[in-house]
Amino acid sequence: METAAAVSETSAGLVENTVNDLDKQIQTLMNCEIISEAEVKSLCAKAKEILIQEGNVQVIDSPVTVGGQLPYTNYLFLGDFVDRGHYSVETFLLLLALKVRYPDRMMLIRGNHESRQITQVYGFYDECVRKYGSPTVWKCCTDVFDCLSLSAVIAGKVFCVHGGLSPSIQTLDEIRAIERKQEVPHDGAMCDLLWSDPEDAMGWGMSPRGAGYLFGSDVVKMFCENNGVDLICRAHQLVMEGYKWHFNETVLTVWSAPNYCYRCGNVAAILELDEDINKEFSIFEAAPQENRGAPAKKPLPDYFL
């Protein structure tokens, strides 16, 4: 069983990251409670050290749970860890703590929401300021976003990316050549990988999202042939049944947020791949309502005071 290397830092603001500390932080975050700003700084620093060593196309062996049980199986998360929900901070920090605790078992790739610009629109920035009183934690986390890998290949056969394909990319080597340690650009290969969607028309189309492209089954066929993969596994789009096959089972969308926006009534899915990359889906619904009792009413002071 892997153990995280002990980190003793003497610089101001960082704390020791022993296994015990990590396990305590993991427990705290699992309970939907925040860890201290000092702990966040230390955790982010350690996570960055691990993440920057990973390539743009992470190599993962099966068995994998996409979206088992740590530490006996590998886990891959396809991005969009933050924004829109009540607990983005706890969610992302939990994933980081698990990454630092089990670095060879946990894989995280970047989604289009792992971005400074996007998180200032869709809530993560506001949540950080509300829970910590300043943007410091947001800054730490967005610096970590820049280090996240862009994609993964499982057992040489399943290519995993958050959004989809890019007209600028024909081969995995071209992905490897991308300089990824930056804010998600507005266009170009790195942007497309995180923003594109499959669509029924052939070839490439303008994306209605305003970033990335729409791509057809012919594009997928060529990409798979060029790169010796059988399947493109991605997320990025809401799916009623939790998962959806496209293009004769060459593209798979996996969506792991049940009852999106408390209205969509969808289930969520996790893909499990065994040693021989046989596929099984775990489906789950929204957690039952916890009767925490109504919170205090706090109108946003910038607008309502």
Q: Report the interface residues with other proteins, using CB under 8 A.
A: 83-86, 117-118, 121-123, 126, 179, 182, 185-186, 199, 208-210, 214, 237-240, 244, 253, 259-266, 286, 289, 294-295, 297-300, 302-304
Given the complex with other proteins, which of 210 and 225 has the nearer CB atom? Answer: 210
Choose between 181 and 228: whose C-beta lies nearer to other proteins. 181
Residue with Cβ nearer other proteins (1 or 300): 300
Q: How many CB atoms sit inside 10 A of residue 108's CB? A: 27
Please confirm, yes or no, whether 113 is among the known catalytic residues: yes
Is 199 in a helix, a strand, or coil?
Answer: coil
Q: Residues for the chain: how many in total?
A: 305
| Euclidean distance between CA atoms 48 and 181, whole angstroms | 11
To the nearest whole angstrom, how small is the minimum distance from the Cβ of residue 221 to other proteins? Answer: 20
Catalytic residue among 86, 113, 162, 246: 113
Closest approach, Cβ 138 to other proteins, in A, equals 14
Q: Quote the least distance from Cβ 226 to other proteins, whole Å.
A: 26
Tokens (6 digits) for 130? 């509300």
The H or E element containing residue 234 is strand 231-234
Which residues lie below 8 Å from residue 28, measured CB to CB, with a gap of 6+?
34, 35
User: 103 or 123, CB closer to other proteins?
Assistant: 123
Smallest gap, in angstroms, from Cβ of residue 207 to other proteins?
A: 8
Q: Give the separation between CA 163 and CA 143, rounded to whole angstroms.
A: 21
Is the Cβ–Cβ distance between 183 and 115 less than 8 Å? Answer: yes
CB 116 within 8 A of CB 142: yes
Tokens of 163: 């959004």
What are the catalytic residues? Answer: 113
